[in-house]
């Protein structure tokens, strides 16, 4: 069924998705939640004698834990993708360079699983008849004023809120990017 709604989404590190209509989505960060259990399982594995059955069992326990975390993340992403596709007719997202982000921010980007989510979202959208539109990779969504379309020369990542020098509108960096992506 058509809802007549469309939204733009900006991926982030603190907020999984910032929506143009204000329906922001926090990420559960499954690996971070289970980090203590992973540390324990790694420690148990490192204390076992190489080649022993106990080591093999500890290795399996660690692998099961990682699989459990991956399954939690995937389940959450499928449910989120379905909810978004049922809510919106058109979903606009940004095309991110995930490899570069992983090199810069490491484990957190992997824990968020943006690339996996985009694949799941496209799959779910094709099944439910929702249109997914990606903005070009180098489109300056954060630096462009969503009101007057003025583009700033530069905007460091540390600046989370800025004022447009032309129209004077105060922008939240992520919300502004989501509006521009839409």
Catalytic residues, which ones?
Answer: 10, 94, 174
Tally of CA atoms within 13 A in the half-sphere of 68 that contains its CB: 11
Nearest alpha carbon to residue 91 among 132, 152, 62, 128: 132
Q: Nearest 5°: phi and psi at 137? A: -60, -40
Secondary structure E strands in the chain? 6-11, 17-19, 90-94, 131-135, 161-163, 170-172
C-alpha 149/C-alpha 179 separation (Å) is 11
Exposure string of 95-130, with b = 16+ CB inside 10 Å and e = fewer, is eeebeebeeeeeeebbbbbbeebbebbbebbeeeeb
- Residue 154 region by backbone torsions, left for phi larger than 0, else alpha for psi between -120 and 50, else beta: beta
- What element of type H or E holds 104? helix 98-105
């Amino acid at each position: 069924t058509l809802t007549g709604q469309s939204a733009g989404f900006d991926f982030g590190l603190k907020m999984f998705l910032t929506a143009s209509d204000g329906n922001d989505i926090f990420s559960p960060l499954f690996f971070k939640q289970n980090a203590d259990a992973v540390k324990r399982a790694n420690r148990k594995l490192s204390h076992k004698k190489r080649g022993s059955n106990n080591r093999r069992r500890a290795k399996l326990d660690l692998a099961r834990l990682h699989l459990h975390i991956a399954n939690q993340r995937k389940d959450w992403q499928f449910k989120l993708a379905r909810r978004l596709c049922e809510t919106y007719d058109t979903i606009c997202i940004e095309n991110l360079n995930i490899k570069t982000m992983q090199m810069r921010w490491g484990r957190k980007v992997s824990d968020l699983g943006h690339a996996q989510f985009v694949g799941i979202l496209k799959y779910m959208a094709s099944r439910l008849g929702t249109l997914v539109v990606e903005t070009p990779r180098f489109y300056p969504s954060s630096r462009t004023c969503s009101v007057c379309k003025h583009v700033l020369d530069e905007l460091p990542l540390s600046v989370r809120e800025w004022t447009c020098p032309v129209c004077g509108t105060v922008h939240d960096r992520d919300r502004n990017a989501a509006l521009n992506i839409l």
